[in-house]
Amino acid sequence: MDTIFALASAQGKAGVAVIRVSGPSALEVGSTLSGKTLPDRGMTFSILKSDTGEILDEALVLSFRGPESFTGEDVVEFQVHGSNAVVAAMLDELEKLSNVRLAEPGEFTRRAMDNAKLDLTQVEGLADLIDAETEMQRKQAQVILSGGLRKIADRWRSDLIRAASLIEVTIDFADEDVPVDVTPEVNKLLSGVMFDLNREIEGFSVSERIRSGFEVAIIGAPNVGKSTLLNALAGRDAAITSEYAGTTRDVIEVRMDLHGLPVTLLDTAGLRDTDDHVEGIGIQRARDRAEQADLRVFLANEHEVLDVRFVDGDIRLFPKADMRQSPDGAISGKTGEGIDYLVQHVFETLKNRSVHAGISTRARHRNALNRCSQSLDRAIHVLKDGPEFYDIAAEEMRSAIRSIEGLIGRIGVENLLDEIFSSFCLGK
């Protein structure tokens, strides 16, 4: 493997910047720049110099002999002062060396996976942790990064291998009397895995929303204060407000952290019949996004009917509390009346849904779980047809095992790796 380097901390001026080197020549590179023999594992304070003897910086140099490192290879990290000039000088000096090259996006993490330091789900968890914006997203990513999904998948795989081996023993001794009927144990193993799989599949929609953000749509007739309410919730002028009906013609999105939950607020076009073609497109988009949203906030007066389905958890409030004789059940983005109640209602509703979240978070996970579940369902039904069909049942079990192995990246994911790792920055 080549020895690679890159800036591992964020671009821009900072107190400290971290430059990472990984590969067979990493310790040699560290010794060249620091002028010291680096320990297999430790930290040294060094004056870093160029090949001409010019001082580059004073830095902490951390060394990790493989496989006890992030990538599983020899790794050196330079903690230098975080000015753009220092970082540029360090990178230029590393680029001069003949035995190293600049890393590609995600290459450090890919080497960690190649060297069995991380599995594919942990790689995805690391990517989610880097992108986490809220506390709930951080906790979710940490579970996956710590191997939570892999541990469950390994248990499923172990149970399925046991079930398949029992059935295959029966097939091998088909012409002899097998002293023990293995089907009760096999059915118990398959049913247990099937139960866990279905529970995980059911919790996917919530866990995926935690990762990408819940959507809350504000809907109502034109000029009822939807955009004013959005601005009040966002704490800024995210949407144009006007006394003229039909100002909002597209869906305006604002992301926010709601007590640790990631939420995207949607300000939609006012719902009404119109001859304006462009406004009509906006109204249709409003209906579509409202139907797809996790929660809807209806701003509507008494007896007013909106052409959007009201479902459990949605909230209906009277608009413009500041212009009503009684503010009960009403809200105003202008005065703030009712906003605390709305925020708490949305938070409690989405928090209760989050309790049912699974561990899997990506469409790739869901697809692998669905394939596994379908294979197991077929195996369970075939087993009921008797011993002459056990070979078919065993093949279905092997298919389920392959789906689980694909989930954690052991087989069949080569075509996904380039796409996954390209989303990482150079230093990861």
228 known member of a binding site: yes
Q: What is the DSSP string of 184-226?
A: HHHHHHHHHHHHHHHHHHHTHHHHHHHHH-EEEEEEESTTSSH
Considering only CA atoms, which of 358, 350, 352, 369 is closest in space to residue 408? Answer: 369
Helices 120-131/148-172 angle, 10° precision: 160
Please check if 12 is assigned to a binding site: no
Check whether 227 is labelled as a binding-site residue. yes
Q: Is 244 annotated as a binding residue?
A: yes
314 is in an annotated binding site: no
Q: Where are the beta strands (DSSP E) in 206-330?
A: 214-220, 252-258, 261-267, 295-299, 315-317
Residue 65 tokens read as 């002999």
Instruction: Consult the annotation and say whether 224 binds a ligand.
Output: yes
Structure token digits, residue 40:
């297999």
Does residue 268 have a known ligand-binding role? yes
Q: Which two three-digit tokens encode residue 342?
A: 């709305």
Residue 52 labeled ligand binder: no
Q: Is 9 annotated as a binding residue?
A: no
Helix 135-145, helix 120-131: angle, nearest 10: 160
* 247 belongs to an annotated ligand binding site: yes
**Residue 165 assigned as binding residue:** no
- Is 335 annotated to bind a ligand? Reply is no
270 assigned ligand-binding residue: yes
**Which residues contact residue 266 at a Cβ distance below 8 angstroms, ignoring those fewer than 6 apart?**
215, 216, 217, 218, 251, 252, 253, 289, 290, 293
Angstrom CA distances, 221 to 139, 271, 292, 304, stand at: 39, 5, 19, 9
Q: Would you say 120 and 127 are in contact if contact means Cβ atoms under 8 Å apart?
A: no
In this structure, what token pair is assigned to residue 103? Answer: 């890393």
Quick one: three-class SS letters along 340-369?
A: HHHHHHHHHHHHHHHCCCCCCCCHHHHHHH
The two structure tokens encoding residue 50 = 């160029």
Residue 390 labeled ligand binder: no
The answer to whether 101 is a known ligand-binding residue is no
The response to whether 245 counts as a known ligand-binding position is yes
Tokens of 51: 């090949």
Those residues with Cβ within 8 angstroms of residue 142's Cβ, 6 or more apart along the chain or in another chain:
125, 129
DSSP symbols for 311-325: -TT-EEEBS-GGGSS
Q: Is 412 annotated as a binding residue?
A: no
> Which residues are part of a known binding site for (6S)-5-formyl-5,6,7,8-tetrahydrofolate?
20, 77, 117, 428
> Which residues are part of a known binding site for GTP?
223-228, 242-248, 267-270
> Which residues are part of a known binding site?
20, 77, 117, 223-228, 242-248, 267-270, 428
> Which residues are part of a known binding site for Mg(2+)?
227, 248
